[in-house]
Chain A
Amino acid sequence: MKKRKFGLAMSLVLAAGTILGACGGGGNEEEQGGTAGEGGNKEDAFTVAMVTDVGGVDDKSFNQSAWEGLKAYGEEKGLSKGKDGFDYMQSQSDADYATNLNTLTRQDFDLIFGIGYLMEPAIGEIAGQQTDQNFAIVDAVVEQDNVASIMFKEQEAAFLAGVTAGLATETNKIGFLGGMAIPVIERFEAGFRAGVESVNPDADVQIQYAEAFDKAEAGKAIASKMYSSGVDVIFHAAGGTGNGLFTEARDLKKKDPERKVWAIGVDSDQTAEGVVTIDGTDHNVIITSALKRVDNAVKDLSLQAADGNFPGGEVTTYGLTEDGVGLAPINEELENKAEIEAKVEEYKEKIKNGEITVPGSYAELKTFSAQ
């Protein structure tokens, strides 16, 4: 018995040792060779990298969007993916953020993005330790001289989505499906409700949170309940949970092609998720999407930093004016498409010229409604 345990212990030590040995052997010679072939980068290029949150780089949402932005930046500067151009690291868990940020620091990237509010504590801490390194964070504010914070006026995009929903509804019942009750989603909700109110004060907006960004089945259940209670337009700000909304809308449309079921997407143009083929003709249940152009913001900030204008210690807010948020094209199938487009344009202008300040919180929404 004892012998066996000792054997096991020894063996595990050895197991660990062998991995290390096996990998260590060829290590150093290869290090330089690894990425040399991909080259084509200038010695003095301004290199940029990002760390995704747990969603990963292909989350069809803002991590992916940020990566698009980095790629666009690289294209503009003639850089390629790699340690001396632009690159990303993915995080498997919350604990990995700091490790990944540190790794990129060690690789001497000139600017490192942390994508998502989840990254805030890690950026805050590491920026304090690595004072010579420049960081940027999306969707959160870190008050340090070597950190540029990127915020969005999601409420403005959501406002336009609200305008669309308010005009598109026939039952005067509209739904909002939130991921988790966090400040970003609060901005979406407040803006959306303000938008609906502006064009259709009689409409009733049902609010529901799924308490998760990755539970499509929960999204489907909530959407199903809303639609059956007479809601005909639902806007989601719930990441992957929102895919359940689209599934439900498509299913309902398939069952009854005459029925008006509409959904509004978020972050990127999600039109592709809404296609239903009935009797050979394509329909789409998605009216439009409230766009959050993380890609534009990331690219813009990278370019600024490359030109020596790194906005360290500042909060850069991207709104309609900066082309940081927007609304995707309106679905052709909507009967009052022209009317909606006109109204959207009208409010766009009002927001841009400051005539309307879109509420970004429940408190602001209250005062907005009062007016």
Chain B
Amino acid sequence: MSSRFTNILIPVIAVFLGVLAGTIIMLVSGYNPIAGYSALWNGAFGDIYYIGEVVRQFTPYILAGLAVAFAFRTGLFNIGVEGQLIVGWLAAVWVGVSFEELPKIIHLPLAVLAAAAAGALWGFIPGFLKAKFRVHEVIVTIMLNYVALHVTNSIIRNVITDGKERTPNVAESASLRSPFFESITDYSRLHWGILIALACAIIMWFLLEKTTRGFELRAVGYNQHASHYAGMNVNTNIILSMVISGAFAGLAGAMEALGTFGFASIKGGFTGVGFDGIAVALLGGNTAIGVVLAALLFGGLKIGALNMPLESGVPNELVDIIIALIIFFVASSYIIRWFIERISKKGVK
């Protein structure tokens, strides 16, 4: 069996198995799987509005996935994407509401860059601590998530507003919203951020695969000792990796801030996008193109799943299980690969 054919076959089987497992669960619980899956499909792609929403959801997933993947490639596990996203969100909104008269060509990029810078700063802290004091980045990033959550809540309540639970909407000149996209997708919240996200995927690919800096980052990721020996500055690369990763996460926050919502509100808990980013990155094999495709899968499932309880009567909890199973099977394609290899070996005998 040619390896390329196997590579295509495996995810197909994975998704099929996930769908099959979901079918069995729905049948056992007394729901109609055909109705369930058609509701999922309709909720994601059944209407131009939903397509717009899927792409809208897809956008922050790409960036969160890129953030995790980028750090991974340098041997770092950035669990702090969630926190970096939240500070990026706040920074974008802050810039977005603070200036009234700026032309869009300055205001919008400023707000987006502010988000990237805030995320980068939030990534710099664990990077620096790791590089200088060998503090494990997982611990620092987890803790910084909470710091981000509560600090941004406090700033929204006490600094940007006067005791309110949400900020005013960002100025039109800082908004990524697109009347054009809204008109062609029947008022979905699809916004220009998708172009930023896709551009970032290309940037990540180019940076890692084509530049000397990327060469160093990858080398450090695989083998710090050999990189040090070869004259690379391991600490600089660790910090830089976390900074870039944080910047991607901050941009994901900007997507929510300037596109999806247009404001920041006090959050009782995490958005979850940053944590989903870990799954997106792993599913995408930590490559740029893989992240984009995995984010599309996540975005589609996420939006489509909302429609399942209403249209097919499958309860929410079951929907969560079915979605989780599909992702589980795609993620554990190793098992399928193993089966295929066994079967094809037997075939030869």
- State the A residues within 8 Å of B (CB): 3-16, 18-20, 22-24, 26-28, 30-31, 33-35, 54, 56, 82-83, 87, 89-96, 98-100, 102-104, 106-107, 117-118, 120-121, 126, 129-130, 180-183, 211-214
The one of A4, A19, A126 in contact with B15, judged by C-beta atoms closer than 8 angstroms, is A19
Q: How far is the CA of A22 from the CA of B16 in the complex (A)?
A: 8
A30 touches B266 (CB 8 A): no
Closest to A95 in B: B260
Q: Are A126 and B187 in contact (CB under 8 A)?
A: yes
Are A20 and B41 closer than 8 Å at their CB atoms? yes
| Cβ < 8 Å to A, chain B residues 142-173 | 150, 153, 157, 163, 165-166, 169
- CB-CB under 8 A from A93, the residues of chain B are 271-273
Chain B residues with CB below 8 A from A214, complex form = 268-269
Interface residues on B, range: 35 or more
A19 with B32, Cβ < 8 A, contacts A27-B46, A87-B310, A213-B268 known: no
Q: Quote the shortest CB–CB distance from A55 to chain B (angstroms).
A: 9
| Contact present for B269 and A23 (CB under 8 Å) | no
Q: Using known A-B contacts A3-B4, A33-B35, A117-B165, determine if residue A20 contacts B260 with beta carbons closer than 8 Å.
A: no
A11:B265 contact, CB within 8 angstroms: no
Q: Which residues of A contact B34 (CB under 8 A)?
A: 26, 30
Q: Are B3 and A19 in contact (CB under 8 A)?
A: no
Q: Chain B's nearest CB lies how many Å from the CB of A151?
A: 15
Across-interface contacts of B14 in A (CB, < 8 A) = 15
Q: Given A9-B293, A19-B297, A26-B38, A14 and B12 touching (CB < 8 A)? A: yes
Q: Roughly how many angstroms separate A199 CA and B307 CA in the complex, as a whole number?
A: 51
Cβ contact of A90, chosen from B43, B46, B309, cutoff 8 A:
B309
Complexed CA–CA distance, A35 and B31 (Å): 12
Given contacts A23-B41, A30-B35, A18 and B313 within 8 Å (CB-CB): no
Q: Is the CB of B32 within 8 A of A34?
A: yes
A183 in contact with B306 given A24-B41, A94-B265, A94-B271 (CB within 8 Å): no
Is B326 on the interface with A (CB-CB < 8 A)? Answer: yes
Contacting A16 at CB < 8 Å: which of B163, B266, B287, B300? B300
Instruction: Return chain B residues, CB-CB under 8 Å to A98.
Output: 189
A16 to B34, CA, bound (A): 18
Task: Choose one: B262, B269, B294, B300; the contact of A212 (CB below 8 Å).
Answer: B269
* Chain B proximity of A18: nearest CB distance (Å): 5
User: If the complex has contacts A27-B38, A28-B38, are A14 and B8 also in contact, measured as CB distance less than 8 A?
Assistant: yes
B16–A7 CB distance below 8 A: no
Q: Given A20-B41, A27-B42, A181-B157, answer yes or no on A4-B7 (Cβ-Cβ < 8 Å).
A: yes
* B11, B41, B316, B326: the one within 8 Å of A12 (CB): B11
Of A12, A24, A56, A95, which is within 8 A of B38 by CB?
A24
Contact B7 A183 (CB under 8 A): no
Q: Which residues of A contact B249 (CB under 8 A)?
A: none
**Minimum distance in angstroms from A190 CB to a CB of chain B:** 14
Sample of 8 further A-B pairs with CB below 8 A, known A9-B293, A20-B45: A10-B4, A18-B12, A20-B300, A24-B41, A33-B35, A92-B306, A118-B265, A121-B265
Beyond A11-B11, A12-B11, A89-B310, is A19–B326 a contact (Cβ under 8 Å)? yes
